[in-house]
Amino acid sequence: MASTSGIAKLQFTPSEDDRYEIIAYLGEGQFALVYKARDRIEDRIVAMKKIKMGGRDEARLGLNRSAIREIKIMQELHHVNVVALLDVITTGPNVTLILDFMDFDLDTVIRDGGIVLTPANVKAYSIMTLRGVAYLHRNWILHRDLKPDNLLLNVKGDLKITDFGLAKPFGTPTRQFTSQVVTRWYRAPELLFGAIRYGPAIDVWAIGCIIAEMLQRAPIFPGESDLEQFSKITQVLGSPTDATWKNFRLLAYAIPVKELAGVPLEQILRAVPMDMLDVIRNCLLYDPLRRCSCEEALRMPAFTTKKPFASHPSLLPVPASVRARIQNDGKADGKRKVEPRVDLTGDRSVKKAAR
């Protein structure tokens, strides 16, 4: 096993065979395969994220640049609401990250019709998200892909932000980024218009979308294309003007917009307390310079003085399917068979989740 340039601060495990026992395949994304595993040394459950090689050049050079960028960022992050990078395994060009294991994600909670999400629950999830993202921003990191799927939860009610594959440092005034970041439904209008210089406000917009989604149990701006996405935004917020978003017409992909008045949020998010509507409004301002910061949002009445107060994490709901899975895992623990080896060094992988 070899250390990788630029990430020498981390301890590299000699072999996953020696330390990590694969328990189950959890899923596959565009850039990684994820497994549930047991750390034999620490006697704890962890997540193993095997990064896929980006192409022939990466395989030939034995280097995965996106993985190195993700590791370099994650190794500096230590916060209760951010998934921790516990270890790194390198096998030739292959990189596997060992991370905190979490039981489910916020998207699972939102989609579960058997769960009643109270305003107090939503406040608790919102506070933990805002605290985690505020920490990232204080440390000059943009997440750039906040969405319910990337907010992980456990049965104790802890929420942790995950997936730093698109994260980038910010703070240099002349630094340019790509506008093709953030899943479309949570993408800020400046990104839709092609902005290449942006900051923490893009994450704040995404948080506003997530809070609204928790309250109405459906995405607030579910566009199927960038054009439709902007149309969905204008239907709610009205069309931008020079008064609400200075100089937006100078952005690369800015388009002429019809004058629309929009719809008051209270008509869309019915029965939602006004204090929570105020949070969403301040996150979903057109002008990124006028959007609240995460720190400012945390100081708003919704999270400080207005009842109902946020639920204690231990009182947050757990999907019945997750409880059943955990119970089954517990029963199987005492009589577990040796699992077939999963090849983490090549291209072979299980394709169905063992849950």
Measure the CA–CA gap between 190 and 206, rounded to whole angstroms. 12
- Locate tokens 């942006």: which residue? 198
Residues 299, 115, 29: CA angle, nearest 5 degrees: 80
Residue tagged active-site, from 39, 103, 145, 203: 145
What is the dihedral sign for C-alpha 231, 235, 241, 246? negative
Q: Is 123 annotated as a binding residue?
A: no
Neighbour count for residue 236 (Cβ, 10 Å): 18
Q: Catalytic site residue 145?
A: yes
Q: Whats the size of the chain, residue-wise? A: 355
DSSP string, 282-317: HHS-SSTTTSPPHHHHHTSHHHHTSSSPPPPGGGS-
Q: What DSSP designation does 340 have? A: P
Cis preceding-peptide flag for 240 (omega within 30 of 0): no
Closest CA to 163 of 230, 99, 245: 99
Q: What are the residue numbers of the active site?
A: 145
